[in-house]
A and B are shown apart, each in its own frame.
Chain A
Amino acid sequence: MSDLAQYVLSGLSAGCVFALVALGFVIVANVTGVYNFAQGDYVMVGGMIMVATQTAGWPLLVGVLTSAVAVALVALAQERLTVAPVRRRVGMLGLVIASLGFGIVLRGLALLIWDKDPLSLPSFHDGTFGLLGARLDDQTWFIWGTTVVVLIGVVGLFRFTITGKAMRACASNPTAARLLGIRTGRMSMSAFVLAGAISGTLGAMIVPVSGVSWDSGITVGLIGFIAAALAGFEHPGRAVLAGLGLGVVQSVGAGVISSEYRDAIVYMTLIVYLLGRDLFDADGMIRRIVAARATSRTKRPRRAVSRVPDAGDAVPDGPRFAWPMLVPVVALLLLALAPFFLESGSQELSSATFVVLAAIAATGLGLVMGLAGQFSLGQAAFVLVGGYTVAILTTKHGWDPTAALLAGVVLSVIGGGLIGAMTLRLQGFNLAIATLAIHLSLLVVVSQATSLTGGALGIIGIPTLTVLGLDLADPSDFYWAAMVVLVACLWVARNISGSRVGQALRAVGQDEDGARSMGINPFRLKLVVFVVSAGMAGLAGGLWAFTLQFAAPANWDFTLTISLVTYVIVGGIGSVYGGLIGAVVVGGLEYWIRYHATSGLEGASLQWELIMYGLLLVVFVLFFKDGLARAFKADSVTGGLDRLRRRRTSASGPPGADIPTAAGTSGAAR
């Protein structure tokens, strides 16, 4: 009993952080329509600054206030740089990706300034106290107290101040708010500043309990997002409760089941929730089963048959050659030249191999983002599945390499089907969150299930690849094999993109009701594209395992997902070749940084890579939406400049003419 009280009460402390991060998500989403993926990193920055002030010997209170103000300024900078100037032109997806990029830059800067190792602080007040049979650190009082004060402050702000009331008005109806003369631009700033100050304060308070490191914002942000999602991004109160609840779930799960799996347990809550929504949603399974029963007596024929005779022979079948092809051709040529200039077995050639493999996975991701209009933050999860399947089957079960490779693809495809089925019916960013949660869970599992996966050290001794008797042990032979796979994937992607499926998905992306009225089933098409994409990632992962000859969690962690997303955005989200182009350009740049700019010190370049990726994401998604694939089309580069110029001339007009509300995009199941 006292054990349980211990778990619940200590869970509340972590829960306070999740609750206030969730509150930040809800405030920003409601006022500006942006799901701010940098929110978790605010907590990290707050903690870091707190540590810095304490190292400098400042008083506690000054330290906390400094953290709050500093993070509020960071949030303000984010709003001014990546939201305000572009809100009218960049869609929801763009704004979200930009916030992800901003968060990555923060992570890179933190790594640069404060280094890799976790930092901590002593409790603000030494001692413990007993409550309901549990024994808690005195720091708990500070965390709980701060949370209560913040909540009272936020409620007071919304209830009793003009700014707060105006922010609520923006949230419920931006157009009407503007007509009433409320300056939505200023409200958007206020929302970011408020969310930043809250996260900064709590970030400072939590350091003595959980410590802080450059990447600790990822988990905090994700769990906060889950709490906000549980509250439907609409009710601040519910978001806070959900955050507290997740803290308790995490702590109880850690105590009762296993502390290694504590985050994975929280992520499973999300999966259960998504499943529940899929079942009970207005458009969900139960509704469909009921509807199907009413209509089941006459089944519709599976395929519609046209009544008019097929006159297709009268139409020429001409694949049209389009000019932007030039860029992908150059990118492919560069890759094809690599083995002639790089020595077989050299580090450079293996880097080039990684670029090819990443291009395969990114091509799949490009289909999901560009065609299906969905944001996936878990592409690396499928790469991981492919890689570990190969590793386990070849080393522990003696499978034939080709069979193991295929098994990896099959498992990825099945996993993709399950995740897609749960998330693609709902709008919003469920897919992104679910895939990220599953990836992080998988990373926990492969690090912990030592007997199966070798834990953090991984699995060594993977044989080289042999396909149909063709031995690919030589690195340059393997490179050519990977190139063949890449070209095949590009060909498949191009076929899908140019087909009726591609056209239908483009229609869905622009107007779902219109597409549905023509008999197009958005869910099925998105699912099929997502599954193909997962298959490509699994294939890349399997090959990756063969070329590395070992599998470890660090090979395919969250940084790989960030790389893949960046490749797609930089290469061009609207082009099937975006992933290829981005991988060649950005991947090439990354390895150049790693080997040359930082004098070859493995790992020491991570901060620069993070900063580069974050900046590229922000800049491309906001200002060069079409990416490099369209760079040589007349309108795109100058188009970007043009848009900048137009912004300057129209800056005097009313800001934020078209702010989507979070409710409008996350609700509305139909």
Chain B
Amino acid sequence: MSAVEQVAPGTPAPPAAPVLRAEGLRRTFGTFVAVDDVSIELRPGRVTALIGPNGAGKSTVINLLAGTLIPTAGQVRIADVRVEGLRAEEVALRGLARTFQTPKLYEGMTVLDMVMLARDRFGRASFLEIALRTPRTRRDRRASHAAAMAHLERVGLAHQADRLATSLPVGSQRLVDVARALASEPDVLLLDEPAAGLDHTETHDLTALIREIAAEGLAVLLVEHDMRMVMSIADDVVVLDRGRLLAAGTPKEVAADPAVIEAYLGTVAA
């Protein structure tokens, strides 16, 4: 958002000011430039799709936004607070949730356990109370359990709550990841190829879920290769190619952009 576009003081703020704003992001690995001068805005209630060929730098962008990687240059703001120097857990506590391209699964943990991890931050008992197992600790646990079940219900996995997460099929594992991200009650949700490995109906259900989540006011960033899914739910599309922004706009605009057709769709067709 440039200075010219900014509203003068006094006028009511537009309904959907960006909750996450990244400007001029750059990240190098040694001499290799993985992400170069990328700016992205995510607004409440909108789904922004981030697309691009393999190795374009999409996952790296997510890692930069989430604090998993520190940008070489550029800024990330969440609710107007600079976060790019913070560690991932600090960024998460400021309202950002993300999934990983390969779902994170913990051996020996049930689906419910994993979602309860995301509720860790809502525990009210201090460490001393935990060590002494005071009634408040037990209340925390029950509250966490109930909330985690509610989120599992939402993605349709409540009946699997007591199974080991590692024993589920890939599709369900991705849904566990989504449930876990939602359970932390974020303002911004970054999804890294959530539909990879899902079958047709699962993809359909996930699409509906993402739409519903956005409708509740979350800002969603969706990295996805399935163009049909992207076109059907994205409000905005950002195209990345070899680390650089190639195009940005509504799905229709982007789909008609000759540069995109050449660079991105061209490689897919090839």
Contacts and interface: CB of A to CB of B under 8 A. Distances in A.
Interface of A: 282-283, 287-288, 290-291, 294-295, 297-298, 300, 303-308, 310-315, 317, 491-492, 495-496, 499-501, 503-504, 506-507, 510-511, 513-522, 528, 532, 670
B143 A312 contact: yes
B34 to A, nearest CB: 16
B258 to A, nearest CB: 37
Nearest to B85: A291
B130 A501 contact: yes
12 contacts: A287-B85, A294-B82, A294-B85, A306-B185, A492-B131, A499-B130, A499-B141, A503-B109, A511-B106, A515-B89, A516-B88, A517-B97
Given A311-B147, A496-B130, A304 B122 contact: yes
B84 to A, nearest CB: 8
A500 B142 contact: no
B132 A312 contact: no
Contacts of B89: 515-522
Contacts of B124: 303
B142 A317 contact: yes
B55 interface: no
B64 interface: no
A499 B69 CA distance: 30
Given A295-B85, A506-B109, A517-B98, A501 B184 contact: no
Contact of B120 (A307, A496, A518): A518
A528 B130 CA distance: 12
B92 A507 contact: no
A528 B180 CA distance: 25
Contact-residue bracket for chain B? 35 or more
A496 B149 CA distance: 23
Contacts of B123: 500
Contacts of A300: 90, 93-94
List the 10 closest A-B pairs by CB distance, nearest first.
Answer: A291-B85, A514-B104, A312-B142, A312-B143, A311-B146, A516-B88, A519-B92, A304-B121, A495-B133, A294-B82
A297 B143 contact: no
B204 interface: no
B106 A315 contact: no
A546 B248 CA distance: 74
B109 A308 contact: no
Contact of A495 (B81, B131, B139, B184): B131
Contact of B100 (A294, A305, A308, A514): A514
B41 interface: no
A513 B122 CA distance: 20
A514 to B, nearest CB: 3
B122 A518 contact: no
B36 interface: no
Contact of A516 (B68, B127, B133): B68
Contacts of A491: 133
Nearest to B96: A517
A511 B131 contact: no
